[in-house]
Amino acid sequence: MNVRIVLFLAINLSLIYALDIYETNDCNTRYGCFFNPKGCVGKSCDFIAKWIKKDDHLQFIIGAKFEKLKSNWVAVAFSHDATMGDDSVVACKYKSDKEISVESYFNDGKMPVLLNENNPSEGLKNSSITIDQNFLICSFERSKTVSNFKNFFDLNQNYYLLMAKGKLDKEGSLNPHGKNKIESHSIIDFNKAEEVKSIAVSTDLVKIHAVLMVLAWSFMSTLGVLFARYYKYIFPGVKLGGVQFWFTIHRSFMAGVCLLTLVAFGFIFAFKNWKWTDPSSRVNFMHSIFGIVTITLCLVQPIMAFFRPDKGEQNRPIFNWAHRSVGIIAYISSTVAVFLGVLIFVENYHWVLLLSWIVWLLLLIVVLEVINSRIVANDRVQHADSAGMNIEKNKMEKSNAKSYFLVMHLIVSAAWTISLILAILELF
């Protein structure tokens, strides 16, 4: 009987303590507070976080509103740069009344990884989860620092506060939160009791950046390169602006790539408040490095083209190799940047899109190179006039095969680009 009484009191005391989350009178005096949306009160809020300093640890109460509570999670993260990536995270997981947990994570890029698989609650104690209608409320005590884990951020320092919510998968792992995320307006000193303004994370500029980069490097640049390498024979008698058709396509598309790349860079730089990505955000930082390498090489190409030697000049072969090499490095760098961007933002199943694109490009290049080599081999064969007619016919058939692959690439490229853009719009 005594055990039941103690249990009853513990449950009710936990509920009373959890319901303190709705109070605003103790903000700036006892608790530090964080509410979203701005000006919300109690259950009208979508996200709430409160904290109080206690010796060598901090006590947190966090909560989030759901349409329907079933296998959900709510998390709070401490970040260097107000964007998700390389953050110290505490996630509260509610699968059922008997399956609850509060765990320490580190966002490796955008992927939450348990800080300590042998002890998921590393640095946490006295945790509890309470359900109040459609509100998931979680309280826990977090040590300011844990000496054995560098990715358990020291709360003696100041950080941005991020919050997010989402669903659990069948194994109890965190599904991506999508648009269900917010951030603090500024860095927070968690050792002070103050109310902090929150802002919903607007990712419109990131969307524009990602969409423009996909259009530029996955659609336009591949077509520009393909025409220069494999399709010079198309409309050989047509000249636009005094130059051959293939060169007009190549030059127009690659100029468009440079323009879109620069515009996209402006959008993401504006989103970052004109600041470079912090090196502590490893994946984000590497994405920015490969991005700036791509942009630099993209600008180098037209400058090199401006000083291109005429055909037959001594330095023309050097220019050709330099132009080709810079283009290849730029494309590889852009592809790596896209992959890192996907690692940062996109759900796991969208990796299939990227891998399928790489497989298609490799297959296309191999096939076109084989056809090209056979055409070149045929050109070197010397026969009689009748045999020469057969060779010319064979060459025409191979050129037609290349044309079929161009049409196929246009279809695949358009479908792939649209699919990835839709994935970007879906997840931001």
Which pLDDT tens digits describe the chain residue by residue (428 residues)?
454 443 343 444 344 456 677 888 888 888 999 888 877 888 889 999 999 998 889 999 999 999 888 889 999 999 988 777 789 999 999 988 788 999 999 987 667 889 999 999 999 999 999 998 889 999 999 999 998 888 999 999 999 999 999 888 888 888 877 777 888 888 899 998 888 876 655 678 888 999 999 999 989 999 999 998 888 888 877 887 778 888 999 999 999 999 999 999 999 988 877 878 777 667 778 889 999 999 999 999 989 988 888 888 888 899 999 999 999 999 999 989 988 887 666 555 567 778 888 999 999 999 999 988 887 666 655 444 444 555 555 556 556 788 899 999 999 999 999 988 887 887 65
* Cβ neighbour number for residue 425 with a 10 Å cutoff: 11
Strand order in the sheet with 47-54: 124-132, 135-143, 57-65, 47-54, 32-36, 195-196
**Peptide bond just before 317 cis, omega within 30 deg:** no
- State residue 392's pLDDT score: 53
Question: CATH says 204-427 is which class?
Answer: mainly alpha
Q: Which residues, 6+ apart, have CB-to-CB distance to 402 below 8 Å?
A: 230, 231, 368, 371
Q: What does the pLDDT look like over 227-249, one tens digit per residue?
A: 988 888 888 778 877 788 889 99
**Peptide bond just before 236 cis, omega within 30 deg:** no
Q: Which residues, 6+ apart, have CB-to-CB distance to 204 below 8 Å?
A: none
Q: How far lies 338's CA from each of 20, 176, 397, in Å?
A: 45, 19, 37
* Cβ neighbour number for residue 386 with a 10 Å cutoff: 7
pTM of the complete model: 0.65
- State residue 421's pLDDT score: 87
- State residue 7's pLDDT score: 39
Look up tokens 């509610």; give the residue.
Answer: 94
The arrangement of secondary structure in 2-200, i.e. its CATH architecture, is: Sandwich (2.60)
List the chain domain ranges. 2-200, 204-427
Three-state secondary-structure class, residue 203: coil
- State residue 18's pLDDT score: 61
Q: Give the number of C-alpha atoms closer than 13 A to the C-alpha of residue 113, restricted to the C-beta side.
A: 13
Write out the two tokens for 156. Answer: 């003696």
Task: Report d(CA 136, CA 412) in Å as an integer.
Answer: 45
The single-letter code of the amino acid at 164 is A
